[in-house]
Structure 1
Amino acid sequence: MASTGSTSKESVAVQIEPKTGISFPFKLDDGMELVAVGLRKKSILGLGGIKVYGFGIFADNEKLKEVLRLKIGSKAPSKPTKEMYEAVLESDVGMMVRLVFVFSGVSMGMIKKNFDHILGVSVRKLNGGRSDQKLTAKVFGDASDNIKLTSGSIIEITRLPGYILQTKVKDEIVSKVESELLCKAYFHMYLGDEAFDVDAKERFGQSLLSLF
């Protein structure tokens, strides 16, 4: 579903994440384009299925097209394949996940603890069963545990060329970490075998097919 939203400069086209009503622009100022939207649910205090945040996955589609043609070839597969997702995860093409919170009772301390766990699982899976807690702890850098993430608060985690993972909390850069493993592990949570939102992963895959 698409509509238009306003910025201070001009109206921009947006896509609505249907389960939360959160809007994401189709294109960012840096040229990255929206390729999928989804929802992250979490069991909190014994309550299952709490909507924590909606997310939008953005990417440099021109660079992704180059990667896919190099790794897969010029002919599109009939459906998204594991090889396609792997090509994206292993590349250093610019990508970003924007998290927009819908659940208000969240602090940065809670987010750090949760990320240390789920990102740690992803790191172990991609690192021969070896964990690296120091690496995963770097994602949120020195961001204060006391930061309150109310409804509408935004976190952006971006893979920059050179395998640099940058984290912004409420529009403030809190860390930049150069690590191919960390970049792959982070996006693996959204595009890997046990993706947070399977439908969002599928939409991402369909978007990749359109690039051939």
Structure 2
Amino acid sequence: MYVVAVNGSPRKGGNTEIMLEEALKPLKSAGWETELVQLGSKRIRGCMACGKCWENKDSRCIVDNDVFNEVMETMLRADAIILGSPTYFTDVSAEMKALLDRSGMVALANGRLFRGKIGAAVVAVRRGGGTHVFDTINHMYLMSQMIVPGSLYWNLGMGLDKGDVNNDSEGLGNMKNLGETIAWLGAAMKPHLQSFPEDNAFFG
């Protein structure tokens, strides 16, 4: 199975990336193919609400001069998606918000492409506001019919300067448990991934 972790922080090697790497370690040990994708600081615009993804239905965004479609391809291939962001004024980074809006829209427009995938949110926070970031990411997952696993606590790591999260043993322990939970859930789901109920099973 394959898991992709997307780092929405522009600070490469920072607290968000450290946490994502910690979450990936148990999955790699369990035999999963793992990948960390750097999104923060990359060129990605917000959704234009043009509706072309609903017309074209090619699992892509019509805006093709930034990194979105490349990242979207990895998300579509993945069995599990971990999106990580720092806390900026109590919300996700601008790059992560653009990814959430565009990936969610393209997935919905093409028959709910994220349906049945595992989705987890990881948040770096200095002090307060991290649970709102956590909610922002999970909202896209939940309305996309994804499966959101729990862990020991909210998936938050505390720190300001680069590397500070290494002093948050509880936060890093939660990342380890999150990775273990995703691995367990993936193994439990694997025999049933091709039998996820169609939309009409819910809406008659």
Task: Report the TM-score, using the length of structure 2 for normalisation.
Answer: 0.26
User: Higher relative CO (CA 8 A, sep ≥ 6), structure 1 or 2?
Assistant: 2
Task: Report the TM-score, using the length of structure 1 for normalisation.
Answer: 0.25
Structure with the bigger percentage of helix: 2
Structure with the bigger percentage of strand: 1
